[in-house]
Amino acid sequence: MAAVINTNIASLNTQRNLGTSQSALNTSIQRLSSGLRVNSAKDDAAGLAISERMTSQIRGLNVAARNANDGISLAQTAEGALGKIGDMLQRVRELSVQSANASNSADDRKALNAEAGQLLSEIDRVAKQTEFNGLKLLDGSFTLQAFQVGANAGETINVAGIANAQISALGSWTSVDTAAAPVTGAAPVGAGYVAAVPGTPATPTASAVSGAYVQAASDNAADAFQVKIDGAVASDRLVGNASAANLQTDIAAFVAASGGAYTLAGTVAGGDLVITKADGTDMAITTSFSDAVGSTVAAAGTTSDGTFGAGFVANHTGGTPATGGTPATPGTFSALSGAAFTINGENIEVGAAADAATRLTDLTTAINAKTGTTGVQASVSGGALTLTSIGGSGNIDIAGTGNVTEQTGLTAGANAATPGSAQTGFATLDISSVAGANNAMKAMDAAINSVNSARGTLGAVQSRFENAIGNIQVTAENLQGARSRIIDADFAAETASLTRGQILQQAGTAMLAQANSLPNNVLSLLRG
């Protein structure tokens, strides 16, 4: 090995190693002081890029969680206001029920209506003024909205909107016709046989040839149907002596025995059968009246007295009245086997019977057998059938499928009303009348249902937001863990690296001192 002075290779080598250990020591000190393994792109370029993308996602998710919390706050604000509106609607309904009671005077109802009016005004005020961060919530303007609950575009929760809680729009219902009167008519159930013969009475002629016709009176009295005889009865005519009861019994017996039709016709040189009393006076046939076979009449809402045939009807078909001296053509009586009709949508079937009392009993029994489903109870008093609504609705709807008499006279135990028109909201409601109170009850029921539905929707939205927040937090936590494994410093490893660097620095410094002293050995050669 050559001994040189100008170039100290050992010193240079020691300096290089000392610089390397110094750089490693600086890196360890930086990592331990920052806590990060990647402090710049030179530490790990790919790791830095990945960690930065993760940082964007984490920060976006944190904001999304705050957005969802804001959504919960908004929903809670709207739901709380709807809760108070619901309380006021319940109070208005209470006032409506109270106003509908017959014990109230006009002044009482006026006072109740005043309180209801104030409550309606407050409902409208709450609906118009409830807001969150300047956004109106209950006036109908808060429609479909998207809440950003993710770190990326399109990651939203869509809320369909909040119901319009203004009194002009809250709830859809069908009004009760305020002009409809309660069912108050009461009339006996018909005797069961119908004679409907159109025409004009016979006109007497010079030869006094008689004719017969059946005349329908304009009222519902016992003599609504009369068989009248004009002129004298010729000796060669066939004369039948009968009363109303006998006629009914004869027809019923004949139909029951033969199953056929009972024809009123006789011949005297092509002549006619004439029914009259023995004394020749008018004969009253107490019976129900139907001017069209097979007609169907609904009973709900009528205010007129009438007779309820309920299917115990014999039809008279054909036949014409005698006009002048012209004989009447034959007419036929036949009996129905029974009848069917509906009460509040429930089918009621009744068989035929020989007398009115039995028919009333059968009808009452048939109706009461379905009380559980129809909510209607039947009773008979003084020959009148009374239907009472026991379900609280006040409506009894009857539709017949047999021969039902003209607008049946029913005594109903509750008011019946005809359906009105479809309504939205209740801005014009007035409970100062019974009809108005009934409408208010229907409107309040619809409004309360709408409020409950809206509150349910808002509750579901809150639950969804809470679950979204939980999912966001889990996702952010996992991303933070992944980023930590990329950029965070391992203190155990970095401490060991620091210790190693420090030792190398101390050793390198010592060795550099030794290397720098090596040229002194060359001087000893000169001293010889």
CATH number at residue 98: 1.20.1330.10
What pLDDT band is residue 484 in, cutting at 50, 70 and 90? very high
pLDDT at 84: 95
Mean pLDDT across the stretch 150-179?
81
- 33: tokens are 């002081």
Answer yes or no: is 379 within a domain.
yes
Give me the pLDDT at residue 339, please: 58
- Domain membership flag for residue 307: yes
Domain boundary among 416, 437, 468: 416
Q: How far apart are CA 194 and CA 247, in angstroms?
A: 12
51-57, long-range: CB < 8 A, 24+ apart: 51/483, 51/486, 51/487, 54/479, 54/480, 54/482, 54/483, 54/486, 55/483, 56/151, 57/151, 57/476, 57/479
Pick from 156-160, 278-282, 469-473, 519-523 the range whose average pLDDT is largest.
Answer: 469-473
Residues 133 and 153 in one domain: yes
Query: How would residue 54 be classed by pLDDT, with cut points 50, 70 and 90?
Result: very high
Q: How many domains does the structure of the chain reveal?
A: 3
The count of residues in the chain is 528
Q: Is the pTM of this model over 0.75?
A: no
The DSSP call for residue 234 is P
Its domain, for residue 470, covers 50-178+424-477
Asked if residue 128 belongs to a domain, the reply is yes
Residues 113 and 219 placed together within one structural domain of the fold: no
Among candidates 158, 176, 96, which has minimal Cα distance to 448? Answer: 96
Domain presence at residue 88: yes
Label residue 12 by pLDDT band (50, 70, 90): very high
Which of the pair, 113 or 182, is modelled with greater confidence? 113
Residue 349 pLDDT: 72
Mean pLDDT, residues 468-480: 95
pLDDT over 90 (residue 55): yes
Calpha distance 448→503 (Å, rounded): 82
Give the three-state DSSP class for 141. Answer: coil
Is the pLDDT confidence value at 244 over 90? no
Do 238 and 351 reside in the same domain of the chain? yes
Same domain, 368 and 227: yes
**Over residues 470-481, mean pLDDT:** 95
Residue 64 included in any domain: yes
427 or 398, greater pLDDT = 427
**Are 369 and 249 within one domain?**
yes
Please tell me what DSSP assigns to residue 490.
Answer: -
DSSP annotation of 488: B
Percent of the chain with pLDDT over 90: 39
| More confident call, 486 vs 363 | 486
Judged by DSSP in three states, 288 sits in: coil
pLDDT of residue 56: 95
318: left (phi over 0), alpha (psi -120 to 50) or beta: left
Which tokens belong to 203?
């006109």
Q: Which of 7-16, 241-250, 341-350, 436-445 has the lowest mean pLDDT?
A: 241-250
Give me the mean pLDDT over the 18-27 stretch.
Answer: 91
- Output the pLDDT for position 170: 84
Q: What pLDDT, in 10s, does the model give residues 253-300?
A: 544 555 544 443 333 333 333 443 334 443 333 323 233 233 222 223
- Out of 400, 416, 432, a domain closes at 416
Q: In this predicted structure, what is the pLDDT of residue 188? A: 31
Q: Would you say 16 and 510 are in contact if contact means Cβ atoms under 8 Å apart?
A: no
Same domain? For 317 and 363 the reply is yes
> Has residue 179 got a pLDDT over 50?
no
State both tokens at 26: 């600086």
Per-residue pLDDT, 275: 40
**Residue carrying structure tokens 């007497």:** 204
Note the pLDDT of residue 524: 78
In the prediction, which pLDDT does 221 show? 33
Residue 1: band (very low, low, confident or very high) from pLDDT cuts 50, 70, 90: low
Average pLDDT over residues 455-482: 95
Q: Are residues 128 and 108 in the same domain?
A: yes
pLDDT on residue 218:
34
8 pLDDT tier (thresholds 50, 70, 90): confident
> Which of 329-333, 358-362, 514-518 tops mean pLDDT?
514-518
Q: Is residue 116 part of a domain?
A: yes
Q: Which of 398, 416, 434 is the endpoint of a domain?
A: 416
- In the predicted model, what is the mean pLDDT of residues 436-450? 91
pLDDT-derived band at 510, boundaries 50, 70, 90: very high
Taking a C-beta distance cutoff of 8 angstroms, is the pair 430, 407 a contact?
no
User: Residue 416's pLDDT is what?
Assistant: 33
Cα(475)–Cα(471) distance, integer angstroms: 6
256 shares its domain with 237: yes
Is residue 187 situated within a structural domain? Answer: no
Lowest mean pLDDT among 37-46, 96-105, 136-145, 404-413: 404-413
What is the reported pLDDT for 379? 76
Query: Quick check: 395 and 300 in contact, CB under 8 A?
Result: yes
Q: Is residue 184 part of a domain?
A: no
Residues 237 and 383 in one domain: yes
- Helix H, strand E, coil C: the string for 91-155 is HHHHHHHHHCCCCCCHHHHHHHHHHHHHHHHHHHHHHHHCEECCEECCCCCCCCEEEECCCCCCC
* 248 and 379 share one domain: yes
> What span, in angstroms and rounded, lies between the C-alpha atoms of 168 and 141?
14
Same domain flag for 410 and 274:
yes
Q: How many CA atoms, within 13 angstroms, populate the side-chain half-sphere of residue 301? A: 13
Same domain (yes/no): 97, 145: yes
User: Residue 61 corresponds to which tokens in the numbers above?
Assistant: 């998710």
Phi first, then psi: give them for residue 423, nearest 5 degrees: -130, 150
Residue 228 has pLDDT above 60, yes or no: no
Provide the pLDDT confidence category of residue 362 given band limits of 50, 70 and 90.
confident
| Mean per-residue pLDDT, 127-133 | 94
